[in-house]
Amino acid sequence: MEARYFYFTVHSASDLKDVRLLGEMKVYAKVTIAGKSKYTSADLVNKTNPVWNTTFCFIVPEVDIIRGEFPAKIELFCQRSRSHDKYVGELDLILRPFYIGECTFPVHRNDSNQSKRFGTLKFSHELGDEVLVVVSNSSSSTEDSNA
């Protein structure tokens, strides 16, 4: 399968809703592109204005690149030590691979009014080199035990 490297950088978020009742916000991002998810480390210092500047490399099928758009999802979570991490917000995006530059979009919560903003997220992306991905269909042959 023909594909391309796709570099996605999560820069920062600002003015996020503080979802903690006690303690400080330690926010990390989960980026999902082409069915694969990758995580930033939690920003332990900047609370509701986290800074990551983390670049991920994804492999995106060439057919999606040629079509000129593909979906991406960025979810933000607050890391907690004594229970499950807490959902902060998300972005559902349609990325245009040939766009160059930094983007800033509003963060929304899937459990509230979609028109309400819960901060902003800044990111950028860059299309990389072509790569040939070998897809193996490993099928095991079974023998009839009654033979």
The amino acid that residue 64 corresponds to is D
- The CA distance from 117 to 45, in Å, is 23
Looking at residue 144, what is its pLDDT?
45
Rounded to whole angstroms, how far apart are CA atoms 8 and 37?
Answer: 12
Tell me what pLDDT residue 113 has.
60
pLDDT given for residue 101 in this prediction: 86
CB 48 within 8 A of CB 39: no
Give backbone dihedrals phi and psi of 32, rounded to 5 degrees, phi first. -120, 120
**Cα–Cα distances in Å, from 19 out to 15, 31, 75, 81?**
12, 20, 14, 14
Half-sphere exposure of 132 (CA within 13 A, CB side): 1
Tens of pLDDT, residue by residue, the chain (147 residues): 899 999 999 999 999 999 988 889 999 999 999 999 999 999 999 999 999 999 999 999 999 999 999 999 999 999 998 889 999 999 999 999 988 889 999 999 877 666 677 899 999 999 999 998 887 776 544 444 444
**What is the reported pLDDT for 114?**
60
Residue 21, token pair as written in the block: 């009742």
Query: What 8-state DSSP symbol labels residue 96?
Result: -
* CA distances, 52 to each of 73, 123, 138 (Å): 17, 10, 39
